[in-house]
A and B are shown apart, each in its own frame.
Chain A
Amino acid sequence: AQSVAQPEDQVNVAEGNPLTVKCTYSVSGNPYLFWYVQYPNRGLQFLLKYITGDNLVKGSYGFEAEFNKSQTSFHLKKPSALVSDSALYFCAVRAFFNAGNNRKLIWGLGTSLAVNP
C-alpha cells in the first residue's frame, strides 16, 4: 500500500539548534514529495518539493529536505531553528491511484514542532 509515515508526533528543539522532522514513504514509481507547514487555524503553506534532480532541495524560510531513495526518506531540516518555526509540519507524496492521470496526495499524520526560546 502507498503510504507516508512521520514517525514523531512531536519534535522539541531549542532556538538556534538544528532541527529535523522525519518522513518516510512507500509509493509505486518515482515519488513526488512535498513538505507543508500549518500554523494554528490556518491553511497549509508549501515549503518545498522534490520531483527530480538534486537530492537536497531548498525551500522557503530556510528549510531544506534531503531525498534518500535507498532509505525512502525525505527528512525536513533547518540549520538553526526559530521560535516562529513552531507549527505543524506535513509530509506528502503524490501517487497514482488509477490508470491515466489520476494522482492524489497521500499525507503523513503531521509532526508538531515546538521551538523553545
Chain B
Amino acid sequence: DAMVIQNPRYQVTQFGKPVTLSCSQTLNHNVMYWYQQKSSQAPKLLFHYYDKDFNNEADTPDNFQSRRPNTSFCFLDIRSPGLGDAAMYLCATSRRGTNGYTFGSGTRLTVV
C-alpha cells in the first residue's frame, strides 16, 4: 500500500548529539512536511518542501534542519538536541491541487 513511513518509531539520543529522523513515501506526493508534537498538544509545523523548494517556519529554531534528496525521502536533522526537543515528530505529505494530507506514524524522540 502507498504510504508514509517514518523510521525509527522510537529514537533515544544524548543531549547535544546530532540526530537524524527519516521519512519516506510511496505516494509520489510533491509536498512533504515535518511537524513537532509535544505531549497532548497540536502538531506544530517546522518546515515543508514544495518539490525542492524549502519553506521554513519563522519560529523554527536554527537547530532544526531538513534535507530532501529526492521526491521519496525527507530527513529532519537536529544538530544539538536539547531536553526541550523531546517530542513526537510527524512527517506528512500532500499533492499539489488536492486537499488530502497523509501522515506517517511518527518518531518519538527522547533526549537523555
CA distance A34 to B102 in the complex (A): 12
CA distance A44 to B37 in the complex (A): 11
Say whether B6 contacts A110, CB under 8 Å. no
CA distance A84 to B66 in the complex (A): 36
Taking the complex as formed, is A83 at the interface, i.e. its CB lies under 8 A from any CB of chain B? no
Which stretch in A13-21, A62-70, A72-80, A99-107 binds the other chain?
Answer: A99-107
CA distance A112 to B39 in the complex (A): 12
List of B residues within 8 angstroms of A32 by Cβ: 99
A78 smallest CB distance to B (angstroms): 21
Pick the contact of A34: B41, B45, B101 (CB < 8 A). B101
Interface secondary structure of A, over-half rule: strand
List of A residues within 8 angstroms of B106 by Cβ: 41-43
CA distance A108 to B44 in the complex (A): 11
Say whether B103 contacts A109, CB under 8 Å. no
Q: Mark B88-102, 1 if CB is under 8 A from A, else 0.
A: 101010001001111
Within 8 A of B (CB), among A21-59: 32, 34, 36, 41-46, 49, 51
Closest to A44 in B: B103
Within 8 A of B (CB), among A81-117: 88, 90, 94, 101-102, 104-105, 107-110, 112
CA distance A102 to B47 in the complex (A): 12
Pick the contact of B101: A46, A51, A112 (CB < 8 A). A46
Pick the contact of A45: B6, B50, B103 (CB < 8 A). B103
CA distance A108 to B90 in the complex (A): 16
Within 8 A of A (CB), among B1-46: 6, 40-43, 45
Say whether A109 contacts B42, CB under 8 Å. yes
Taking the complex as formed, is B68 at the interface, i.e. its CB lies under 8 A from any CB of chain A? no
Closest to A110 in B: B42
A107 smallest CB distance to B (angstroms): 4
Say whether A94 contacts B102, CB under 8 Å. no
